[in-house]
C-alpha cells in the first residue's frame, strides 16, 4: 500500500487547458501542463481526468518520440482511411468523416492517478492530445482533479 489517508478531506478542482493545433495528425505532449496543473493544486493523492469537449480529437499516452508521431497516424490511416467514402461526408462535406471515426475509437477521456503529488506515468510515457480533425483547431481540454 502506498497511501491510505482516510482522515483527509477530498477536493475537486477543475481547470482548462487551451492551445492551437497545427492540423491533422498533430500530436501534442501535454504532460508538463498536466503536471503543472496538479502541482498548483498542492494536492497529494488522487486522479486527474482529462477530457476533450469535441468529437474529432482524442487523448491517450505514448512514448513521445519522432518515430511514433509518424507511426501512430500511419496506423490510424490504415484503420480508417481518409480516402474512403464516408456517409458523414455525403451529408456534411467537411472532409472529416475519418476524423470522427478515429476519435470515437480512441476515446475522449483519460484518467491518470497521482501519488504524493507525482503523476504515476512511466519514464517513457507521455500524455498526448491527438488532433484528428482535417484542419488546425483551437482546442480546450477539461482537466479535473479529485484528490486529497
Scanning residues 31 to 70, which ones bind a second copy (CB under 8 A)?
Answer: 41, 45-47, 49, 51-55, 60-63, 65-68, 70
Q: Does 5 bind a second copy (CB under 8 A)?
A: yes
Q: Does 15 bind a second copy (CB under 8 A)?
A: yes
Question: C-alpha cell of 105?
Answer: 475509437
Residue of 31, 108, 134, 135 interacting with a second copy (CB under 8 A)? 108
> How far apart are the C-alpha atoms of 58 and 68, rounded to whole Å?
16
Q: Does 89 bind a second copy (CB under 8 A)?
A: yes
> How far apart are the C-alpha atoms of 27 and 72, rounded to whole Å?
9
Q: Does 93 bind a second copy (CB under 8 A)?
A: no
Region from 17-25, 28-36, 121-129 binding a second copy, contact rule CB under 8 A: 121-129
Closest CA to 96 of 107, 82, 111, 114: 82
Cα distance from N-terminal residue to C-terminal residue, the chain:
16
Amino acid at each position: 500500500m502506498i497511501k491510505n489517508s482516510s482522515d483527509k478531506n477530498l477536493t475537486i478542482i477543475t481547470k482548462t487547458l487551451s492551445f492551437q493545433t497545427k492540423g491533422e495528425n498533430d500530436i501534442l505532449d501535454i504532460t508538463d501542463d498536466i503536471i503543472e496543473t496538479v502541482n498548483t493544486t498542492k494536492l497529494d493523492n488522487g486522479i486527474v481526468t482529462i477530457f476533450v469537449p469535441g468529437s474529432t480529437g482524442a487523448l491517450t499516452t505514448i512514448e513521445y518520440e519522432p518515430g511514433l508521431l509518424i507511426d501512430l497516424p500511419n496506423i490510424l490511416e490504415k484503420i480508417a482511411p481518409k480516402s474512403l467514402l464516408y456517409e458523414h461526408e455525403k451529408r456534411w462535406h467537411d472532409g472529416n468523416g475519418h476524423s470522427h471515426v478515429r476519435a470515437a475509437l480512441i476515446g475522449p477521456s483519460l484518467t491518470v492517478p497521482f501519488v504524493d503529488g507525482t503523476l504515476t506515468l512511466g519514464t517513457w510515457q507521455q500524455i498526448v492530445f491527438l488532433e484528428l480533425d482535417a484542419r488546425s483547431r483551437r482546442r480546450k481540454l477539461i482537466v479535473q482533479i479529485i484528490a486529497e
